[in-house]
């Protein structure tokens, strides 16, 4: 599955299409935060070690591979703490020093890799912000300059290691923010430019021949007044006459012949207005006429031949749309067609041969712009051409036939003015004529027959409607149904579920349907009046799911249905009383999905069902205990949708199961109701949804290879009541078959799939 560059808050699957909505502006492949890119095409390999976390620094290993540093714990599925080595064959090597905090800069010199950062331990050795590591073994060497403050920048030239930071002592000598260290002993050399200014620091060092270029927060260095950028004599430490002056921090420099390319936070440098990036005369320090005019901060530069590669936080540079990565022809100054398109900040660039390694805070490269709403192909995971281009965040999605209904906070969608609620053509993405109009956020949409129920924070839905209303699916006209949610401040409805003639509503309110109801109510689908059902939740309700005679609720409450319940509960659909089911989450539950005997919960929790489960869990519908299924999300889950053998999760997370997955992921379902043989292939499954059901259910099965299949349904006495497939030759993949009740009495039935000697069973419940 492709991922999103910001939170996904609504997910629905229809056929082979997955619709996602939320706060994002781009969707793309899940690449992680460190990616090797072709220097010509910008494409990346089909397989490479994906970094889960942030990459701040990268240097070539001299043999086609890379040393990377940052804030991460996993590279290519291998545990690596803030330091790792990726070889030329794109595998993670055994080099594993490990740092106990972020690595900010790396330099390699011969057989040594130098690292700076926020760490105090590297390779089990005490090292305060700077360390030297054997490039082959990963062992921390004895080199230890022991600074008394932070070290952020480093450059190596021969036997000298230049360092910058916020220290006042390093290598056994007093040195203010900048020093030259002996590469063998770590002792400070006599070279001592000194730095002056309020809150001084040195954050950038680049050595070019006999010159050390310096950037940071200073007003004086090397005995001369210099504003944030300077050139120092590598022998004496005295500032040269080169004096561009910068309005803000300089992040990186590349020296190319008679030109010094600079990037950073500045808006002026070299005596000219320049945003984020500039070319400076290496002799005079004056800005040249070259002016790419970035619309955001530029953090990293790297050059190869006549090409300058640029990374940062911009979306436009050189007069072209570029997602945080770009390239320029240094001979002409023109922007190149190279356009990998990262979804978030790029902090580091390094070049080896025909490869540019990019590191940063991004999680996807090579994606497509999609404002708040996208459609993904369920087979390939990639975005389809469907692009309604919403004008604001999406919070609710539902699909009916050829129409996708969307709710959120927008004034424009599908090429038309639509306020917070709209119907979109599932083929073209164009808004239909259906236009109920809501004046504020729509958080929930639920269709039942000819009616679309909407919940949110609005006080107008077509006409005066507070928090909840109903719309005619055919005309878009708001019906007379008007439960009118009220609250001391501003009522809203987060979740809606429909069962028969009852509409369940959850949110933040003190009254609804003409009755006092705290945050949870059951409403008559005809009159809008509140029924006697009154669980009385003591805090906000975020999620609802109805399964047979049980209403599952999630939110921020600690008491509901007359019982203490930690943010998740099961309520009797007749009485509103809490059942004995009590998973007790330690934080908010935001999403619920029911699949047979398993209840999936998503939220901000770290513990639920008696087990450590972060963000998402599968709970036994009978006991409430967390099953062994453990997706291990790093972050929060806001939306869940079950389809066939897959559960789709959306939210604000960076990884799932140790893999780089930002804000959206597809996961295999938990175990079956009735286990098959112990050696059953994991890809061979039998499911049905909905379960329980009244009229019809879809039975889904998956095959690893072509097989001759028989699918039958039996009652509990063992009598055959339906044959859906008999000795049918079926291809590999996922298949669905409809099973209709056709007069069968309510009760438990067994679906049975036979493939040669293998038999799978599935319990199914038919309701009255």
Residue 670: predicted pLDDT: 62
DSSP 653: E
Residue pLDDT, tens place only, 281-311: 999 999 999 999 999 999 999 999 999 999 9
> Residue-wise over 707-733: b if at least 16 C-beta within 10 A, else e?
bebebbbeeeeeeeebebbeeeebeee
- With beta carbons less than 8 A apart as the criterion, state whether 487 and 493 touch: no
Helix (H, G, I), strand (E, B) or coil at 554: strand
What CATH number does the domain containing 718 carry? 2.60.40.1930
Residue 678: predicted pLDDT: 32
Residues in Cβ contact with 335 at an 8 Å cutoff, skipping those fewer than 6 apart: 292, 317, 318, 319, 320, 322, 326, 327, 328, 329
The answer to whether residue 755 is domain-embedded is: yes
Distance between first and last Cα of the chain: 39
The answer to whether residue 536 is domain-embedded is: no
How far apart CA 116 and CA 59 sit, in angstroms, is 13
What number of CA atoms fall less than 13 Å from residue 136's CA on the CB side? 2
- DSSP H or E segment with residue 709: strand 707-715
Can you say whether residue 558 is alpha, beta or left, with left for phi > 0 and alpha for psi between -120 and 50 degrees? alpha
Residue 572: predicted pLDDT: 96
Helix (H, G, I), strand (E, B) or coil at 540: coil
The answer to whether residue 762 is domain-embedded is: yes
Residue 557: predicted pLDDT: 98
- With beta carbons less than 8 A apart as the criterion, state whether 234 and 214 touch: no
Structure tokens at 118: 């926020």
The answer to whether residue 723 is domain-embedded is: yes
Residue 697: predicted pLDDT: 86
Residue 750's domain comprises 685-766
Residues in Cβ contact with 337 at an 8 Å cutoff, skipping those fewer than 6 apart: none
The answer to whether residue 485 is domain-embedded is: no
Q: What angle do CA 564, 531, 518 make, to 5 degrees?
A: 40
Residue 691: predicted pLDDT: 79
Residues of the chain below pLDDT 70: 670-684, 704, 717, 733, 757
How many domains in the chain?
1
The answer to whether residue 289 is domain-embedded is: no
Structure tokens at 394: 């999406």
How far apart CA 584 and CA 559 sit, in angstroms, is 11
Residue 620: predicted pLDDT: 95
How does DSSP assign 615-637, residue by residue? SEEEEETTT-PBPS----EEEEE
The answer to whether residue 751 is domain-embedded is: yes
The residue with tokens 């007044």 is 225
Instruction: State residue 423 phi and psi, 5-degree precision.
Output: -120, 130
Residues in Cβ contact with 319 at an 8 Å cutoff, skipping those fewer than 6 apart: 292, 293, 335
The answer to whether residue 641 is domain-embedded is: no
How does DSSP assign 372-432, residue by residue? SEEEEETTT--B-S-----SS-EEEEEEETTEEEEEES-SEETTEE--SEEEEETTT--B-
How far apart CA 760 and CA 752 sit, in angstroms, is 6
- With beta carbons less than 8 A apart as the criterion, state whether 647 and 637 touch: no
């Amino acid at each position: 599955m492709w991922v999103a560059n910001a939170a996904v808050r609504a997910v629905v699957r229809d056929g082979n299409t997955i619709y996602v909505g939320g706060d994002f502006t781009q969707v793309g492949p899940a690449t992680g935060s460190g990616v090797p890119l072709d220097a010509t095409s910008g494409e990346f390999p089909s397989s490479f070690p994906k970094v889960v976390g942030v990459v701040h620094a990268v240097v070539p290993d001299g043999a086609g591979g890379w040393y990377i540093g940052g804030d991460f714990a996993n590279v290519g599925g291998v545990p690596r703490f803030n330091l790792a080595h990726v070889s030329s064959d794109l595998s993670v090597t055994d080099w594993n020093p490990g740092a106990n905090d972020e690595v900010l800069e790396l330099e390699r010199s011969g057989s040594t890799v130098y690292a700076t950062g926020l760490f105090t331990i590297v390779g089990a050795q005490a090292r305060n912000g700077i360390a030297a590591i054997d490039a082959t073994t990963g062992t921390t060497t004895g080199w230890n300059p022991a600074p008394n403050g932070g070290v952020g920048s480093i450059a190596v030239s021969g036997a000298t290691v230049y360092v910058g930071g916020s220290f006042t002592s390093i290598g056994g000598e007093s040195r203010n923010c900048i020093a030259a260290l002996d590469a063998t002993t770590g002792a400070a050399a006599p070279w001592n430019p000194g730095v002056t200014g309020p809150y001084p620091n040195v954050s950038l060092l680049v050595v070019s021949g006999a010159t050390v270029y310096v950037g940071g927060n200073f007003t004086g260095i090397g005995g001369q007044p210099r504003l944030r950028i300077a050139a120092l004599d590598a022998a004496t430490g005295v500032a040269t006459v080169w004096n561009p002056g910068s309005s803000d921090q300089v992040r990186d420099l590349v020296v190319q012949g008679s030109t010094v390319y600079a990037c950073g936070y500045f808006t002026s440098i070299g005596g000219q207005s320049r945003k984020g990036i500039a070319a400076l005369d290496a002799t005079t320090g004056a800005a040249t006429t070259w002016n790419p005019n970035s619309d955001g901060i530029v953090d990293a530069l790297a050059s190869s031949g006549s090409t300058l590669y640029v990374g940062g936080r911009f979306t436009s540079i050189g007069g072209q749309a570029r997602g945080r990565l770009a390239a320029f022809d240094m001979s002409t100054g023109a922007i190149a067609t190279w356009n990998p398109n990262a979804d978030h900040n790029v902090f580091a660039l390094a070049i080896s041969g025909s490869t540019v390694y990019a590191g940063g805070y991004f999680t996807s490269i090579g994606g497509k712009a999609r404002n708040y709403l996208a459609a993904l192909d369920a087979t390939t995971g990639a975005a389809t051409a469907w692009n309604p281009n919403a004008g604001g965040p999406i919070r609710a999605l539902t699909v009916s036939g050829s129409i996708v209904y969307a709710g959120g906070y927008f004034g424009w969608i599908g090429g038309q003015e639509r306020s917070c609620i709209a119907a979109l053509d599932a083929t073209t993405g164009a808004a239909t004529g259906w236009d109920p109009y809501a004046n504020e956020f729509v958080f929930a949409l639920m269709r039942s027959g000819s009616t679309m129920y909407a919940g949110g924070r609005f006080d107008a839905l077509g006409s005066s409607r507070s928090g909840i209303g109903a719309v005619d699916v055919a005309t878009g006209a708001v019906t007379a149904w008007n439960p009118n949610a009220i609250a001391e401040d501003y009522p809203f409805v987060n979740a809606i579920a429909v069962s028969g003639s009852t509409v369940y509503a959850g949110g933040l309110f003190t009254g609804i349907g003409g009755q006092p109801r705290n945050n949870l109510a059951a409403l008559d689908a005809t009159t809008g009046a509140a029924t006697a059902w009154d669980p009385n939740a003591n805090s906000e309700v975020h999620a609802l799911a109805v399964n047979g005679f049980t209403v599952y609720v999630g939110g921020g409450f600690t008491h509901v249905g007359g019982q203490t319940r930690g943010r998740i509960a099961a309520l009797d659909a007749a009485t509103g009383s809490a059942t004995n089911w009590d998973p007790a989450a330690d934080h908010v539950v935001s999403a619920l999905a029911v699949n047979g005997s398993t209840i999936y919960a998503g939220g901000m929790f770290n513990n639920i069902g008696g087990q450590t489960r972060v963000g998402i869990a599968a709970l036994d519908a009978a006991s409430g205990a967390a099953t062994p299924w453990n997706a291990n999300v790093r972050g929060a889950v806001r939306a869940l949708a079950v389809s066939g053998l897959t559960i789709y999760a959306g939210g604000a997370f960076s990884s799932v199961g140790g893999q780089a997955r930002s804000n959206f992921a597809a996961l295999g379902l938990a175990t079956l109701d009735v286990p098959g043989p112990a050696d059953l292939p994991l890809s061979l499954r039998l499911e049905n949804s909905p379960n329980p059901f009244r009229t019809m259910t879809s039975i889904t099965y998956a095959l690893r290879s072509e097989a001759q299949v028989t699918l039958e349904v039996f009652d509990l006495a063992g009598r055959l009541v339906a044959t859906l497939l008999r000795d049918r030759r079926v291809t590999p993949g996922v298949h669905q078959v409809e099973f209709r009740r056709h007069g069968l009495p309510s009760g438990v039935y067994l679906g049975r799939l036979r493939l040669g000697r293998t038999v799978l069973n599935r319990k199914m419940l038919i309701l009255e």
